[in-house]
Amino acid sequence: MIESRSESLRAIRLTPGASKQVTLKIDPRSLSSVDEQGNRLILEGKYSLAVGGARPEETQAKSEAVFTVNGTAALPK
């Protein structure tokens, strides 16, 4: 399991009951790990993304998505 990270995002304020479609651009390095040889890799596996007004473990008011990465990809150093 990769440690969770908080990304800096722009706040979007909505009135109760309102919705808005947004696009998130995730830097591949945010999904990467570094192995014993110092190689930075995106590892195959299941990842989850939580979006809300607080850290995921601090609130029930959040949206969550799960996605899968198939294969492993090396990133430049």
Q: So where are the chain's domains?
A: 1-15+22-77
Query: What's the whole-number mean pLDDT along residues 8-36?
Result: 83
- Checking if the pLDDT of 4 tops 70, the result is no
3-state SS assignment for residue 62? strand
Cα–Cα distances in Å, from 23 out to 29, 51, 58? 18, 12, 24
Asked whether 42 and 32 are in contact (CB, 8 A), the reply is yes
- pLDDT-derived band at 13 (thresholds 50, 70, 90) equals confident
List, for residues 34-56, the tens digit of each pLDDT value. Answer: 999 999 999 999 988 877 766 66
Contact (Cβ atoms closer than 8 angstroms) between residue 29 and residue 40 = yes
Question: What are the φ and ψ backbone dihedral angles of 58, each rounded to 5 degrees?
Answer: -100, -5
Residue 63: CB partners within 8 Å, gap ≥ 6? Answer: 50, 51, 52
